[in-house]
Structure 1
Amino acid sequence: MPLRFISSDSDTEEKPAVTAAATTTRLFGRQRTLHELFGGGKVADVVLWRKKHLSAAILGGVSVIWFLLEVVEYNFLTLLSHISITAMLLLFIWSYGVALLDKSPPRLTEIILAENDFREFAQVLHAKLSSFLSMLEEVTMGKNLRLFFLAIASLWIISILGSSCSSLNLLYFGYLCIQILPVLYENYEGEVDHLVTEGSRSLRKLYRKFDSKVLNKIPRGPVKDKKHI
């Protein structure tokens, strides 16, 4: 009786092809999702457009304020006074309108300064500021020369931008970047990570050449250990 060789499913299965996106390292070597990096709460929902109506309302309000101050050349105090007058009139009409309908008047503190939302925003701001200060300390102490030169170049570019445009335009442009770039990155995460990985490899090669030809030739004094009392 002839022997039959029965092939198992594990032998016949084809191994999945490894794509470029699967082998690409995430941006900045992060392990968490973008939503978790922004705190994972309502602040992250607004930045990543999970609540589209609220995000669009905030973007529209900031854009209107920028237009009035920069294009119409409204004075800041005049604009602030007119906004306050309009808000007071609207709240006055609203409170009397709901009183006629036997409803309770609106509470401004609960609408704008909700305790949970304000505490969440403060926690996210504190965490980001602490992370930025720790990174700044590491760079300024000379522990990472690559980040040191990158920080100097970034500050030099910011100084050029600051001299060529007003601070208001720079702040508005920064807000647009915060409001638009994260959601674009979330939608095209694989492609962006792949491009950044390839670009970082090229930058590492250039830095190795610069390090071997320039930085290693700079004379350095002996490092003395500090004596602890």
Structure 2
Amino acid sequence: MPILFDRHRLHAIFGGGKVAEIMLWEDKKLSAAVLAGFSIIWFLFEVVEYHFITLLCHILIAIMLILFVWYQAAGLIIWNTPSIHDLEIPESTLRFFCEKLSWLLKKFYDISTGKDMTLFVVTITSLWIMSAIGAYVSTLNLLYFMFLCMVTLPIMYERYESEVDYIASKGNQDVKRLFKTLDSKFLNKIPKGPVKEKRFR
């Protein structure tokens, strides 16, 4: 039976760094903290109906007050002042997100050209389903649900790997059979324009 993913492949999919450790719960405290943080943000926006600008301003005010007290107290108590380097975003993190965005754009272009007709139809169908879901579910709820899937499905897959692989292989066979039927009954019957032969001088 084919294996969908192994731990090394999952690690590579999530970038192989701190992001992978969080998503695969290798650092349980950090993963739990990130999940709690996102859950609090979702609760504030969706349940309490906090506005984004208001929350952002309150967070910045709190950070400024903490830094002010910390800096002033450092002169009275033996306490290291915060360094600007502690607030910098690592270049590797920015590079990782830029590389993933570039990869997504290239993949979108490749799919859109229609070289792989099956993948093209699956992508169009998936986007249409997501647009239908988006009409009934708020963007924040959808993003939070996707985040929950990202932090729970990989670890669930590790625990029930053989069962998931079996179901996935069966589902893959059924989908291939369905697309073969669609291809023979509908896609092959779509008229195509005559292909002009290129003349080389």
Bin of the TM-score, shorter chain as denominator length: 0.7 to 0.9
Q: Distance in 1 between matches of 2:55 and 2:80?
A: 30
- Give the letter aligned to residue 24 of structure 1: P
Task: Say if 1:186 and 1:224 are closer, same or farther in 2 by CA, change over 3 A.
Answer: farther
The match for 1:188 among 132, 157, 160 is: 160
Query: Aligned pair 1:65/2:13, yes or no?
Result: no
Q: What is the deviation of 1:32?
A: 5.0
1:72-106 Cα offsets, whole Å, 9 max, x none, are 11122211122222222223333344444423112
Task: Say if 1:111 and 1:208 are closer, same or farther in 2 by CA, change over 3 A.
Answer: same
- Give the letter aligned to residue 71 of structure 1: V
Q: Distance in 2 between matches of 1:32 and 1:125?
A: 20
Structure 1 segments unaligned to the other structure (5+ residues): 1-22
Query: Partner of 1:134 in structure 2?
Result: 106
Query: Aligned pair 1:212/2:184, yes or no?
Result: yes
- Tell me which moved more, 33-42 or 176-185: 176-185
Written as runs of structure 1 = structure 2, the 5 A alignment for 1:5-154 is 23-27=1-5, 33-107=9-83, 109-114=84-89, 118-154=90-126
1:40-82 Cα offsets, whole Å, 9 max, x none, are 1112112212122222212211211221111111122211122
Query: Partner of 1:16 in structure 2?
Result: none
Structure 2 segments unaligned to the other structure (5+ residues): none
Q: What is the deviation of 1:144?
A: 1.0
Task: Say if 1:110 and 1:179 are closer, same or farther in 2 by CA, change over 3 A.
Answer: farther
Identity of aligned residues (%): 45
Q: What is the deviation of 1:167?
A: 1.6
Task: Say if 1:199 and 1:49 are closer, same or farther in 2 by CA, change over 3 A.
Answer: same
Task: Say if 1:51 and 1:228 are closer, same or farther in 2 by CA, change over 3 A.
Answer: farther
RMSD: 2.5
Task: Say if 1:226 and 1:39 are closer, same or farther in 2 by CA, change over 3 A.
Answer: farther
Answer whether contact 1:39 1:124 (CA < 8 A) is retained. yes
Q: What's the secondary structure of 1:220's corresponding residue? A: coil
Task: Say if 1:25 and 1:61 are closer, same or farther in 2 by CA, change over 3 A.
Answer: closer
Q: What is the deviation of 1:133?
A: 2.2
* Structure exhibiting the larger radius of gyration computed from Cα positions: 1
- Give the letter aligned to residue 17 of structure 2: G
1:155-175 Cα offsets, whole Å, 9 max, x none, are 111111111022222222222
Q: What's the secondary structure of 1:90's corresponding residue? A: helix
Point out 4+ residue stretches in structure 1 off by more than 6 angstroms: 226-229
- Give the letter aligned to residue 4 of structure 2: R
When normalised by structure 2's length, the TM-score is 0.86
When normalised by structure 1's length, the TM-score is 0.77
Query: Partner of 1:221 in structure 2?
Result: 193
- Tell me which moved more, 146-155 or 178-187: 178-187
